């Protein structure tokens, strides 16, 4: 009987640990749980830190793309990252007549495969400290590592930091960044 209770207790502990691992597998983003069985868009709409990004994705007509099978890696700038752009930039980009430019900027945040941070760090190391990251928008970002953080440089030489890595999605992964990445103009 003690053996049965002991086995039952062990199963309970293992099941609880497995459930806890599932619950903590993805970090919270913008005060919301991120679920690995939801798409990039389905999760992003719940993040209070990504309302500007969601509005931009909608204005650019990219919702269906980022809800598709993927896989994608999205470097997802926060509201603060958009707010750091020159005054009026976001409002101007959201105008219908600027849709092509908005699409270019947003797709320069998207890689056409799922790349977790450990894989990116390996590529950075293999390439001597800087790794070229081609995006679906035709941009080439540069990944590097400094002071314990992954850094992403855009085509204008501006550098952003990955503040939350490895947010798993059903169609890829999101890495939250603190800078809007811009293509060469």
List of domains in the chain: 2-177 (2.30.180.10)
Sheet holding 149-153, edge to edge: 110-111, 72-77, 172-177, 159-169, 149-153, 140-146, 130-134
Kindly indicate the confidence band of residue 17, based on its pLDDT and cuts at 50, 70 and 90.
very low
24-28, 33-37, 155-159, range with the lowest pLDDT: 24-28
CA distance 72 to 114: 5
> How high is the pLDDT of residue 27?
84
Q: Which residue has the tokens 């600027």?
A: 98
Task: Let me know: does 79 contact 90? Beta carbons within 8 Å.
Answer: no
Task: Let me know: does 182 contact 156? Beta carbons within 8 Å.
Answer: yes
Please, how many CA atoms are within 13 Å of residue 58, restricted to the half-sphere of its CB? 9
How high is the mean pLDDT of the chain? 86
User: What's the alpha-carbon Rg for the chain, to the nearest Å?
Assistant: 19
CA distance 113 to 124: 16
> How high is the pLDDT of residue 22?
42
Which helix (DSSP H) or strand (DSSP E) does residue 67 occupy?
Answer: helix 63-67
25-34, 38-47, 116-125, 149-158, range with the lowest pLDDT: 25-34
Parallel/antiparallel/unpaired status of strands 159-169 and 172-177: antiparallel
Does 136 score more than 70 pLDDT? yes
Q: Residue 180's closest CA among 139, 147, 146?
A: 139
CA distance 120 to 132: 10
Please, how many CA atoms are within 13 Å of residue 43, restricted to the half-sphere of its CB? 26
Does 173 score more than 90 pLDDT? yes
Task: Let me know: does 162 contact 151? Beta carbons within 8 Å.
Answer: yes
Can you tell me the mean pLDDT for 56-80?
94
Can you tell me the mean pLDDT for 2-9?
35
């Amino acid at each position: 009987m003690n053996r049965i209770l002991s086995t039952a207790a062990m199963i309970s502990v293992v099941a609880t640990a497995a459930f806890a691992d599932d619950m903590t597998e993805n970090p919270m983003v913008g005060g919301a749980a991120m679920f690995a069985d939801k798409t990039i868009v389905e999760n992003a709409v719940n993040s209070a830190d990504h309302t500007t990004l969601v509005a931009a994705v909608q204005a650019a007509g990219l919702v269906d793309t980022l809800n598709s099978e993927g896989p994608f890696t999205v470097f997802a700038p926060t509201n603060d990252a958009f707010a750091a752009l020159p005054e009026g930039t976001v409002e101007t980009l959201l105008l219908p007549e600027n849709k092509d430019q908005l699409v270019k900027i947003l797709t320069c945040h998207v890689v056409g495969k799922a790349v977790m941070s450990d894989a990116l760090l390996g590529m950075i190391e293999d390439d001597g400290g800087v790794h070229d990251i081609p995006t679906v928008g035709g941009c080439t970002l540069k990944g590097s590592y400094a002071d314990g953080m992954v850094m992403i440089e855009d085509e204008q030489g501006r550098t952003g930091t990955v503040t939350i890595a490895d947010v798993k999605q059903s169609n890829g992964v999101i890495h939250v960044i603190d800078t809007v990445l811009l293509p060469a103009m």
